[in-house]
Structure 1
Amino acid sequence: MMQGLIKTRTELPEMLVLEILSKLPVKSLTRFRCVCKPWSSSFETPHFITKHHHNNIKNNYLNLLLKRCHGGTRDDIHYFSQLSTEKDQNFRVNHNIHLPFFENFVHGPFIHGPCNGILCLADLGGLGHNVALWNPSTREFKIIPQTTVQRPPGLLDFSTFNSLGFGYDSQTDDFKIVRSVTNYFEENLDEGLMEDWNSQVELYSLKSDSWKEISFTGFYAFASILFNNYVNGFIYCQAVGVDHHILSFDMVNEKFSTSPLPEFGWSLEQYYLELLDFNGLLGAIFYPREGTDKSFDLWVMNGSWTKQFSAESVLGVERPLGFWKNGELFLESSDQELVLFDPSVKELRNLGIHAYKSTMQITAYVESLVPLNGRSEYEECIIRRPVGG
């Protein structure tokens, strides 16, 4: 006669266990590294990292990061706010994050990306020498080494970094940064001194952890700083030459090419243009330079340019900041408040988050386990403060 129940343990197949784990947030996976060494090792494999990232994209698990400044000028200390994405919390601030590496630079860092969950931060308000990669999910931070690209002889004491793009090379599994550099010279003429300049383009590879010069002729370009302008292996920016074009950079072939802008019917002297990733396609959003009664036209490239939507007479707003789920658009109001506009019902919702004018930049990203070979936020003295804590 049985004295008690016999307990049995069912072992799940390893592949099924990893499939389940790949659907968990990074915070949970960080804790589960302590469960057993095979799990910890599996979380570092390219297959698991890719599977985990694709699951987050598939389920549209987005996180929100807002860069802002609370001071009385643009030059006060900039910091990041992690916003809640829970439906009932109205995007309230969960954490404020301070990055000491950028605190002594004018305007703080601009965000480029995200790309596979990685953000590229760059000081383009000053001389632009300082660049870092940041994975806010794993809380890893990597300071990019200074360039070793040789400058032409006769250079003045400084060069400026005018634009920057950040993207992913799927062929070599490498993250790359491309930026343009303007070099300034003095020329001796009979009547005195004259300043002259030329441009170089340089590229950083995370795999080699180094910079190199690449060829670039014919255009002067500046990149978007409001939106993520990396789309499906290409970086896009506006090229200014004889005509207005889009300049694209192929992350695999490391080559530039141009394509036309949409014929949106207005002059770029009257309208701002921002290029962005819109649901995996290249998008272009146009909005007026003047007034607080704005219109927003979104065009999308899918073989050819087509107008996605047009929102007219949105009152009391200054500029777009980024798209949210279901095509909703974050905007900066004329009162320097973060607001959310739903084009389908033409509804504007105040979110109660303020910043000094034109310092807000919002980034929506999915979590990622991609390693940077950098250091932890703690080692870089990055401070996260829970709101109310």
Structure 2
Amino acid sequence: MRDLPYEIFINILPRVPIKSLFRFRCVCKAWRDLLTDPHFIKQQLNHSAETNISNRNLILNCGSNLYNVLYSIHNDTWDDEPVKLDLPCKLSTIEIVGSCNGLVCLLGYLNRVYDVIIWNPFTRDYKMLPYAPFQLPGRAVSRFPVLGFGYSPSKDVYKVLRVIYFHVDCRMVSSCRSLVDVHTLGTDSWRRIGEIPFDIRDWLSGIFVNGALHWIAIRSSRPDTIVSFDVGNEVFREIPQPYFGDHSFHSKLGVLGGFLCMICTFYDNHVKIWVMKDYGVRESWIKHFSIHQPMVVGHFKHLKPLGFTKSGEILLEMHDRKLVLYDLEKKRFRNLIIQGVPDWSEVGVSIGTLISPEARS
């Protein structure tokens, strides 16, 4: 290896599977220094992001346990047996808030107290965010927190957003107020940045796309809208929705092929998925595909797109703990069976990187 030119050596290592890279840190001091160097870690991250379309690490939430499964889209198979992940601390219930650049944000409950944890499931490094109880005014009654986890490329920082809604007067719906806090990885506290003039409908996780978090929200008596939070500038904005024509449906947001998408479930049990090709431009929304097979698939209420395969099929999570591949041309489904995993409630998608949860701002 000492005779191998450094340029070739540094070009090979980012292509090595993440589990091998993690072991290579024990080879010698020189390799450890290289594999912990921020420049190399970013190079490996860029390569993982580019090849994410081919290999997806699916994290299955089983209530108080998480399992990792690597699906190889080239071979349409699971590359390995499901692996039970070692959680950084004991928790009675887990929610997956989101994943960004290989870091997974978890909301964990234990004895009615919740903790927010940033965790790299491959290196097993984690960061438990400082506990910050809700300082609500008066005799307020709190709702569940709205959370989001994202990254600002321009400022090279990771942030967690927390929105707490509360009622100052429990008898009046109009008395609903909010508090917005932000935690930047590398700091030791939360910052209060004000209020939000929207009532976010999805109580937990924001959809991270294009440097911003997104939710479906309500503002006064106006129809549902898409609200975004720019992770870098910490500003809330409204994102234009498609021209639907028909509003009798249930909507939710997702990510498909790196684009913001909207899943519209109609009451006759069919679904339309829209994709925003040019971020922020209403005219760029296109109806990507529709599904009309309720007898085969079941109810679409919890349908979640997870990504494309090499052949153009779409990997979907269904409401009844099923993973299916949908062929857009043939309009057919086929099930993906995962052996060796207990009942799971949700699926997260992650990539393998060496990014540390101790990232400094």
Alignment TM-score, normalising by the size of structure 2: 0.82
User: How far off its partner does 1:49 sit?
Assistant: 0.9
Q: Which region of structure 1 is more displaced relative to structure 2, 172-181 or 217-226? A: 217-226
1:175 match: 158
The 2-side partners of 1:31 and 1:90 are apart by: 22
The 2-side partners of 1:137 and 1:166 are apart by: 19
Change in CA separation of 1:92 and 1:78 when aligned onto 2, cut-off 3 Å? farther
- Deviations 1:335-372, CA, capped at 9 Å, x for gaps: 64332222232121122349999x63222222111011
Count matched residues: 343
Cα contact 2:182–2:190 (8 A) shared by 1: yes
- Deviations 1:16-72, CA, capped at 9 Å, x for gaps: 312211211221112222232222112122211111011122223533324344xxx
Give the secondary structure class of the aligned counterpart of 2:356. Answer: coil
The 2-side partners of 1:334 and 1:372 are apart by: 31
Structure 1 or 2, whichever has the larger Rg, is: 1
Structure 2 residue ranges without an equivalent (≥5): none
The 2-side partners of 1:334 and 1:230 are apart by: 22
Change in CA separation of 1:123 and 1:344 when aligned onto 2, cut-off 3 Å? farther
1:215 match: 194
2:70 match: 84
Write the mapping of 1:1-389 to structure 2, written as runs, cut at 5 A. Answer: 11-60=3-52, 61-69=54-62, 77-86=63-72, 87=75, 89-90=77-78, 93-97=81-85, 99=87, 101=89, 103-105=91-93, 108-109=94-95, 111-123=96-108, 129-147=114-132, 150-152=135-137, 154-156=138-140, 159-185=142-168, 197-223=176-202, 229-241=207-219, 242-267=222-247, 270-288=248-266, 290=267, 293-302=269-278, 303=281, 304-314=283-293, 315-318=296-299, 319-326=302-309, 328-332=313-317, 336-353=321-338, 360-373=345-358
The 2-side partners of 1:64 and 1:368 are apart by: 11
Structure number with the higher strand fraction is 1
User: How far off its partner does 1:167 sit?
Assistant: 0.5
Change in CA separation of 1:92 and 1:322 when aligned onto 2, cut-off 3 Å? farther
The 2-side partners of 1:333 and 1:251 are apart by: 30
Q: Which region of structure 1 is more displaced relative to structure 2, 88-97 or 303-312? A: 88-97
Cα contact 2:148–2:204 (8 A) shared by 1: no
The 2-side partners of 1:309 and 1:98 are apart by: 38
- Deviations 1:254-305, CA, capped at 9 Å, x for gaps: 11111221122222xx4222222332322222123x46x4333233241433
Identity percentage over the alignment? Answer: 28
Cα contact 2:321–2:346 (8 A) shared by 1: no
The 2-side partners of 1:262 and 1:232 are apart by: 18
The 2-side partners of 1:11 and 1:219 are apart by: 61
The 1-side partners of 2:87 and 2:169 are apart by: 37
The 2-side partners of 1:224 and 1:182 are apart by: 10
The 1-side partners of 2:130 and 2:319 are apart by: 39
The 2-side partners of 1:334 and 1:281 are apart by: 22
Give the secondary structure class of the aligned counterpart of 2:10. Answer: helix
User: How far off its partner does 1:90 sit?
Assistant: 5.0
Change in CA separation of 1:169 and 1:306 when aligned onto 2, cut-off 3 Å? closer
Cα contact 1:127–1:161 (8 A) shared by 2: no
- Deviations 1:61-116, CA, capped at 9 Å, x for gaps: 533324344xxxxxxx44323223132535775223364847424xx31x233211
Amino acid of the structure 2 residue aligned with 1:117:
G
The 2-side partners of 1:224 and 1:305 are apart by: 28
Cα contact 2:25–2:32 (8 A) shared by 1: yes
Amino acid of the structure 1 residue aligned with 2:58:
L
Cα contact 1:163–1:222 (8 A) shared by 2: no
Alignment TM-score, normalising by the size of structure 1: 0.76
